[in-house]
Amino acid sequence: MGQKVIANKTIDVNDEGYMTDPSQWDKDVASALAEEIGIELSDKHFEVLDYLREKFKEGEVLTIRKVGKSGIVDIKGLYQLFPGGPLKYSSKIAGIPKPASCV
Amino acid sequence: MKKIVILGGGTAGTMMANKLRNALERDEWDITIVDQFRTHYYQPGFLFIPFGIYHERDVKKPKSSFFPVGVNVLYTGIDKVDADNKKVLLEGGKVLFYDFLIIATGTKTCPEETPGLKEQLWYKDIFDFYTIEGALALQKHFKSWQGGKLVMAITEIPYKCPVAPLEFVFLAEEFFTKKGIRDKVDITIVTPMAGVFTKPIATKMLSELLVEKNINVVADFYIERIDNEKKALVSYDEREVPFDTLTIVPVNMGDKMVERSGLGDDLNFVFTNKHTLQQRDHEEIFVIGDAANLPTSKAGSVAHFASEILFDNLMNAIEGRPLTAHFDGHANCYIETGYGKGALIDFNYDTEPLPGTFPLPGIGPFGLLKNTKINHYGKIMFRWIYWHLLLKGKELPVEAEMTMAGKKRVTF
């Protein structure tokens, strides 16, 4: 557990840099987190991030498939937005926990 | 006469039928359980079948042996739940009205969700071990397999028993070593997650096992399709993993009945209050086991712990009290690591698997996140406990709520 200063804000993060308090998230924080990964956020990115945050709030388990069926973007498109690891990167930028298994 | 209907006679449904029949007067409460199949499989045993450790006879018994006297049993398919009118429509037109409904219809593998999976290589070079058919076909295949690339792949989360693929590669490593052909078998585990281990402490304590056993990991690999000609997995970002033998966890989905009833998410898992175990929109419907969309493992231990909470809350509801029992997502899972050893993890919604010891009166303690022989014996003994105590709804010496006793908070 630690803190870091990003976009002129102090945020709480875990060892892997995932935010631990979703209420500290805003669009500037998202853009700065994305920049660290090498992604420049477009409106489409933000649509995905909003969807993820909303579903997380509702307590749903998020999957790449679920985002692909959201009507915002298909799975190929999601990979283009967040190359390499679409769900882990989009979750990180959305300020929600990393998708995890039980161990 | 008031009515309780239980949909699904697997682990969770059978436990609930036993607990409820024991507690409720027969002249006041009518209990009906519905399932389309007559055979109960001990599913944790499927893992051992490919390696010839268990055989079909070790994992199957008639469902009827575990249903209590005084419960109506209907072996039929379910069309859908009409929640607004508190009734269940069965295949063939029969209708069951209920005061309370328990959905325990589980999860199943859907290989048809992945293009190329259920085609010419299915059960020739591609297998699952989550069905009795797949596990037996793989046992036969391994008897004459001369080696090559063995790939264990996970298509999608969530799936039943998240540690099973890991146990599979550990047992395969031992199996081919003892067969004297380990040098000809290249073992790779492929996951859509960021790694085989995703929780920080488990990663630190258990990743070394994969290195020791020379098992390759391909992470962040989300399977789009199987190329049958090339014998390769193809991901959405166009990476490929070639295989000679592929063992796969197909996409898991809840029963189609859930979709027809409009009670669940896109994978047909029922929207469930993670603490009360009530269905999100209907207070007289409760959900238990793999059928629920709870953010914890799909595993028998979770269903077992949840059964105690569900029982308490159903009693609360029947007697008009608030639903005070609170499920914490408790799971307790053995991880077979090969050579007669195993690890144990114990966790809930909020607490990741931690090291330390797990107290169990009379037998334990077991070592948490440690690779020991006693943990392996725990797993082997569990089959007896499952058939004789757990399914019958008897008390086990393990609390439903996770305890921190014996666990150590660690930092690395």
Pairing relation of β-strands B185-190 and B341-347?
unpaired
| H, E, C per residue of chain A | CEEEEECCEEEEECCCCCECCHHHCCHHHHHHHHHHHCCCCCHHHHHHHHHHHHHHHCCCCCCHHHHHCCCCCCHHHHHHHCCCCHHHHHHHHHCCCCCCCCC
DSSP B123-143: TTTEE-SSSHHHHHHHHHHHH
pLDDT tens per residue, range B248-278: 999 999 999 999 999 999 999 999 999 999 9
Locus of tokens 């195993």: B342
Query: Given this model, what pLDDT does residue B411 score?
Result: 66
**Any A CB within 8 A of B193 CB:** yes
pLDDT of A7 strictly over 70: yes
Out of A16, A84, A102, whose CB is closest to B220? Answer: A84
**Any B CB within 8 A of A58 CB:** no
Q: Is A33 a domain residue?
A: yes
Mean pLDDT of chain B: 95
pLDDT tens per residue, range A31-63: 999 999 999 999 999 999 999 999 999 888 889
Q: Is A103 a domain residue?
A: no
Q: How distant is the alpha carbon of residue B11 from its chain centre?
A: 10
Query: Given this model, what pLDDT does residue B147 score?
Result: 97
**Any A CB within 8 A of B254 CB:** no
**Any B CB within 8 A of A63 CB:** yes
Residues of B in contact with A15 (CB under 8 A): 200
pLDDT grade for B365, boundaries at 50, 70 and 90: confident
Pairing relation of β-strands B60-62 and B72-75?
unpaired
**Any A CB within 8 A of B148 CB:** no
**Any A CB within 8 A of B202 CB:** yes
CA distance to partner chain A, nearest, from residue B285 (Å): 19
Residue B159: HSE in the Cβ half-sphere, 13 Å Cα cutoff:
23
Query: Given this model, what pLDDT does residue B308 score?
Result: 96
Residue B286: CB atoms within 10 Å: 30
**Token pair belonging to A15:** 């060892």
CA nearest B335 in A: which residue? Answer: A103
Tell me the residue length of chain B: 412
pLDDT tens per residue, range B99-147: 999 999 999 999 999 999 999 999 999 999 999 999 999 999 999 999 9
Q: Is A101 a domain residue?
A: no
Q: How far apart are CA A77 and CA A48, in angstroms?
A: 11
Q: Is A47 a domain residue?
A: yes
Residues of A in contact with B209 (CB under 8 A): none
Out of B192, B194, B333, whose CB is closest to A64? Answer: B192
pLDDT tens per residue, range A58-101: 888 889 999 999 999 999 999 999 998 899 999 999 999 988 87
pLDDT tens per residue, range B144-181: 999 999 999 999 999 999 999 999 999 999 999 999 99
CA distance to partner chain A, nearest, from residue B130 (Å): 18
Out of A60, A64, A98, whose CB is closest to B265? Answer: A60
Q: Is A32 a domain residue?
A: yes
**Token pair belonging to B113:** 């969700």
In percent, the amount of chain B with pLDDT more than 70 equals 99
In percent, the amount of chain A with pLDDT more than 70 equals 99
Pairing relation of β-strands B223-227 and B95-97?
unpaired
**Token pair belonging to B411:** 């930092």
A32 is catalytic: no
Locus of tokens 């045993």: B45
pLDDT of B362 strictly over 80: no
Spell out the domains of chain B, with CATH numbers in brackets. 2-109+253-318 (3.50.50.60), 111-251 (3.50.50.60), 331-390 (no CATH)
Query: Given this model, what pLDDT does residue A1 score?
Result: 67
Query: Given this model, what pLDDT does residue B202 score?
Result: 86
| Chains A, B: CB pairs < 8 Å | 77
Of the given ranges (A2-6, B285-289, B314-318), which has the lowest mean pLDDT?
A: A2-6
CA nearest A89 in B: which residue? Answer: B194
Q: How far apart are CA B396 and CA B332, in angstroms?
A: 13
Q: Is A102 a domain residue?
A: no
The average pLDDT across B67-77 equals 98
**Token pair belonging to B9:** 């006679």
- In 3D, which of A10, A28, A35, A31 has the Cα closest to residue A20? A10
Per the structure, the complete domain to which residue A72 belongs is given by: 2-94
**Number of domains observed in the structure of chain A:** 1
